[in-house]
Amino acid sequence: MSKIAFIYPGQGAQVCGMGQDFYEQTKAGKETFDLASDILGFSVPELCFTENDRLDITEYTQAAMVTTSIAMTKVLEEQGVKPDVTAGLSLGEYCALYAAGVMSEKDAIATVRQRGILMQQAVPAGQGAMAAVLAMDAAAIEETIADIEGVQIANYNCPGQIVISGKKEAVETACEKLKEAGAKRTIMLNVSGPFHSRMLTGAGEKLGEVLEQVEVHTPQIPYVANVTAQYVTDAAEVKPLLTKQVSSSVRWEQSVRTMLADGVDTFVEIGPGKTLSGFMRKIDRTVKVLNIEKLDDVAKVVEELKEC
């Protein structure tokens, strides 16, 4: 029996025009974007579909991405496609919560707007940094940076691609040591903060206060939490994990392996870009990976899944 996972990309995948065809050509898509505009007090279609400098600013990016991915999910589910499990990378976890029936679309969009503001404000510009480390084993990276205070692994994306995060000087020092230790390349990332590092612990705690006002439900299907890379089936676990997630490592590769071990053999990436599909090719090339990025993709995915 084939198992389907819906997976959702995180911040960085955003692109001008994302979701526009869903907004203009589907009722569910339009309703989602219009609801987001009502909740947030500004035009989400304008944010997503017109050239502007706000789409790449964290406090706007997060709400835009979640709105877009939820709109796409609703249109796909209208075609009768339902996931058996779901997961999302960092910000994408909120889309997974929606798909799993844990959080309403209204609460998911409103919460990530606050999450984005808190993360944006957490660390003054220039004090933190992130860097990608290419072609080096995760265990070797952990060992190399263990004695450098102020830096940690932010993302276990896939074999050969790990992201580190923390204080700017510590990240720069770590990059030098990692290259000496055998990393093929280290690339400083153009980001507005040291996400998924201990420097954001305070932002996570403030998010926890926001989450106190949010209603969460028992998952209708399991979702995989970034913090533990394990299934969550109990509503009581949701808020503590989301609070920790802001300053904890995103265990994406481990999350995918949890789903693979559970028999998931079809992954549908829902949202702009094909970031997660690229990671999947490095984690396990044998599974089926499909994408929903444009409205035309929905019919293709429905057709592909009929053949499974």
The helix (run of H) or strand (run of E) holding residue 291 is strand 288-292
The helix (run of H) or strand (run of E) holding residue 55 is none
Supply the DSSP symbol for 165.
E
Task: Considering the candidates 90, 165, 248, 255, report the single residue annotated as catalytic.
Answer: 90
3-state secondary structure of 146: coil
Confirm if 274 and 54 have CB atoms less than 8 A apart: no
For residue 196, indicate whether it is catalytic: yes
The whole-angstrom separation of Cα 304 and Cα 69 is: 20
Q: Which tokens hold the place of 24?
A: 């203009």
For residue 2, indicate whether it is catalytic: no
Pairing of strands 151-158, 161-167: antiparallel
Q: Is 184 exposed, middle or buried (0-12, 13-18, 19+ CB in 10 A)?
A: exposed
The whole-angstrom separation of Cα 285 and Cα 159 is: 12
Task: Considering the candidates 37, 43, 69, 196, report the single residue annotated as catalytic.
Answer: 196
- Those residues with Cβ within 8 angstroms of residue 11's Cβ, 6 or more apart along the chain or in another chain: 58, 61, 62, 65, 90, 91, 195
- Between helices 201-211 and 105-122, what is the axis angle to 10°? 150
The whole-angstrom separation of Cα 197 and Cα 207 is: 15
Give the length of the chain. 308
The whole-angstrom separation of Cα 203 and Cα 200 is: 5
Q: Is 209 exposed, middle or buried (0-12, 13-18, 19+ CB in 10 A)?
A: exposed
- Where in the sequence numbering do the catalytic residues fall? 90, 196
